[in-house]
Amino acid sequence: MLDYELKVFSGTANPMLAEAICKELDVTLGRALIGRFPDGETSLRLDEDVRGRDIFVIQPTCHPVNENLMELLILIDCLRRASASRITAVVPYYGYARMDRKDRSRVPITAKLVANLIAQAGADRVLAMDLHASQIQGFFDVPMDHLYAAPVLIDYYLGKNIPDLTLVAPDLGSVKLARAYGEAMSTDLAIVDKRRIDAQTIQTGYLIGNVQGRNVLMVEDLIATGTSVIEAARLLKSHGARDVYVAATHPVLCGNAIQRLNESELTEITVTDTIPADTSAMSDKFRVVSIAPLLAEAIDHIHHNKSVSKLFATPVRQR
């Protein structure tokens, strides 16, 4: 055991998740006074001593992305200047991850930029979950632990005992993730051929595999507009699928995504609490499972300098 105390702080992005993690760890959430100046800038003051402590900052960079990212950076800077011994940025949802390479001319690599900002602010290590692309791990110049929500989601669906189940990758980028789920759940695999026409338009044309008379489970790292899974569900239904389930780690749910998913042919949509979801707008189709126990276990292992490799149960998508 380390000779310095573990403390957990949270920004305003997802305080309920932070409280749940603290409950699992049997610690009290650290006191930080976070507000806004009249011009909208973030104001922050720690309301307790952190000198020499091992600090974990819980802050997903979800909507509003820029404010939550800036709040994370300010928290890290404040803790560093208050002489914290070690600072770990726990980022359950890592925003700006879609632009992770130069796939055309004159575009930024925002995933690397954000990694640089977190390190330069003073984070000694980073803990994230289900990155949009696993190569983002290599963008960090500080130690980085990458967890997957798959064990939590797999346990949930194994508990449902769905008969005649086939795992489906809703696009080619999700094949490795779907295969890992399928191996863990001992099911067959099918693949939807999806093409993105532009930022708003998805074209689904072909199905690789057989879903006739089968219940299917699609797996994704996130649901943003919902277009991909909605169109994939239509295609699967047209090929004779029975019930169509979808499991996704991050409920980004932009614009009218919740309404569209409520009205879709999907039987059930299961997400985690990496991002706070508007459950009041969700129909009975939605289920939210907590990743707080998994993150709490990872935090405990990091604090006590124990291996976290056993928590890396399932690989994520490779592109």
Give me the long-range contacts of 24-30 (CB less than 8 A, separation at least 24): 24/292, 24/293, 24/296, 24/297, 25/296, 25/299, 25/300, 30/55
DSSP annotation string for 208-276: ES--TT-EEEEEEEEESSSHHHHHHHHHHHHTT---EEEEEEEE---TTHHHHHHTSS-SEEEEESSS-
On whether the CB atoms of residues 224 and 213 are closer than 8 A, the answer is no
As to burial, measured by CB atoms within 10 angstroms (0-12 exposed, 13-18 middle, 19+ buried), residue 92 is buried
Look up residue 68 and give its amino acid. Answer: N
User: Within 10 A of 108 (CB to CB), how many other CB atoms are there?
Assistant: 10
194 catalytic residue (yes or no): yes
Task: Name the pairing type of β-strands 165-169 and 144-147.
Answer: unpaired
Give me the long-range contacts of 137-140 (CB less than 8 A, separation at least 24): 139/100, 139/111, 139/112, 139/115, 140/115
Fill in the DSSP letter of residue 134: G
Catalytic member of 112, 160, 176, 194: 194
Which residues participate in catalysis according to the annotation? 194
